[in-house]
């Protein structure tokens, strides 16, 4: 976006809140490098207004939208068509305008989540993964993990009903592209899961525990998923993947680093899901991911 003029086309983000989102800086940096006459804005919006906002943005020829908390689920019902992945996950993070009105909903969070795992030198075949939390982002994470030919994925929840629903939905995704049957199982926080989690090759935090908050400063010894005791004897062979990217590192990743673990935070997922959305909106293969990463990292610096 070098100059806004009468030909500038609109991209944007729907959610609430959106004022801390890194998406506008990241996408506008890409837009500038790609020489596109686009502009990406963040639109805070109430759930009652969501349908009108979508109709209005479609009417003014908006070229594409991202969707964030808390609308990833609700927006699926408002799409004229969904990709098979978005349909299975019940979550949409990217909207593409359809010919003759309406929106096509898809999900690039899975691609974003997978990128740092695929780009690492680790061979994930037959490895064991442990996922903490069974909310929205855990769905994308587990859908991604199901393509890695892992031996087993265990999901830890704190509510039996939500965990059962999660497993039911995600089991129908089995084989989404993987040829191999991966064991998908759940356990509750009260179960004796500690030996299993500690021996996992890959542990993923999908809860907001450890995320910076304006209301309360983080306590590095307390703001850890599942408390501090469990993480005392991590193996350096284990990879920790925290979907949170603020602060960098999170207390959990900081602790992992001190024990020699390989650590991945959520920034690359954010960047890669954004790049995948850009690819869909612009139909261009080469998205300046490095520029997006630099813009996001700069914006995150205190």
List contacts with ligand NAP (CB under 6 A).
69, 109, 112, 133-138, 157-159, 162, 206-209, 211, 243-245, 266, 269-270, 273
Complex with ligand NAP: residue 28 or 137, whichever CB lies closer:
137
Query: Quick check: is 32 catalytic?
Result: no
> In whole angstroms, what is the distance from residue 31 CA to residue 169 CA?
36
Exposed / middle / buried, residue 52 (Cβ in 10 Å: 0-12, 13-18, 19+): exposed
In the bound state, the residue with its beta carbon closest to ligand NAP is 135
Nearest-approach distance from CB 170 to ligand NAP, in angstroms? 13
Nearest-approach distance from CB 158 to ligand NAP, in angstroms? 5
Q: Work out the angle between the directed axes of helices 109-118 and 136-145 (0-180°, nearest 10).
A: 50
Complex with ligand NAP: residue 14 or 269, whichever CB lies closer:
269
Q: Work out the angle between the directed axes of helices 109-118 and 267-282 (0-180°, nearest 10).
A: 120
> In whole angstroms, what is the distance from residue 113 CA to residue 19 CA?
23
Nearest-approach distance from CB 208 to ligand NAP, in angstroms? 4
Q: What is the DSSP letter of 98?
A: P
Complex with ligand NAP: residue 208 or 220, whichever CB lies closer:
208
Would you say 40 and 14 are in contact if contact means Cβ atoms under 8 Å apart?
no
Nearest-approach distance from CB 300 to ligand NAP, in angstroms? 12
Complex with ligand NAP: residue 136 or 249, whichever CB lies closer:
136
Residue 69 CA: distances (Å) to CA of 44, 247, 302: 11, 19, 23
β-partners of residue 260 are: none
Nearest-approach distance from CB 88 to ligand NAP, in angstroms? 17
Beta strands across the sheet bearing 103-106: 38-44, 9-15, 64-67, 94-97, 103-106, 81-82
- 7, 32, 72, 301: the catalytic one is 72
Complex with ligand NAP: residue 113 or 281, whichever CB lies closer:
113
Residues that are catalytic: 72
């Amino acid at each position: 976006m070098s100059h806004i003029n009468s030909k500038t086309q609109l991209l944007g983000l729907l959610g609430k809140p959106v004022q801390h989102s890194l998406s506008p800086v990241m996408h506008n940096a890409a837009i500038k490098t790609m020489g596109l006459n686009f502009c990406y804005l963040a639109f805070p919006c109430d759930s009652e207004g969501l349908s009108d906002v979508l109709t209005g943005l479609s009417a003014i020829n908006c070229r594409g939208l991202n969707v964030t908390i808390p609308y990833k689920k609700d927006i699926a019902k408002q799409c004229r068509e969904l990709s098979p992945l978005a349909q299975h996950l019940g979550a949409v993070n990217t909207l593409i305008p359809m010919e003759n009105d309406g929106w096509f909903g898809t999900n690039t969070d899975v691609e974003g989540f997978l990128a740092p795992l695929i780009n690492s030198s680790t061979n994930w075949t037959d490895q064991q993964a442990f996922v903490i939390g069974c909310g929205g982002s855990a769905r994308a994470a587990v859908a991604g993990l199901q393509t890695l030919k892992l031996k087993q994925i265990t999901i830890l929840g704190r509510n039996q009903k939500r965990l059962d629903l999660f497993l039911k939905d995600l089991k129908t995704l089995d084989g989404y592209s993987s040829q191999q049957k991966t064991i998908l199982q759940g356990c509750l926080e009260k179960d004796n899961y500690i030996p299993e989690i500690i021996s996992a090759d890959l542990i993923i935090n999908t809860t907001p525990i450890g995320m910076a908050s304006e209301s309360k400063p983080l306590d590095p010894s307390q703001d850890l998923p599942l408390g501090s005791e469990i993480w005392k004897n991590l193996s350096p062979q284990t990879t920790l993947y925290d979907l949170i990217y603020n602060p960098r590192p999170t207390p959990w990743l900081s602790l992992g680093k001190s024990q020699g673990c390989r650590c991945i935070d959520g920034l690359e997922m954010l960047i890669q899901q954004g790049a995948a959305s850009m690819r869909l909106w612009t139909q261009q293969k080469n998205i300046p991911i490095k520029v997006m990463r630099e813009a996001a990292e700069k914006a995150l610096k205190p």
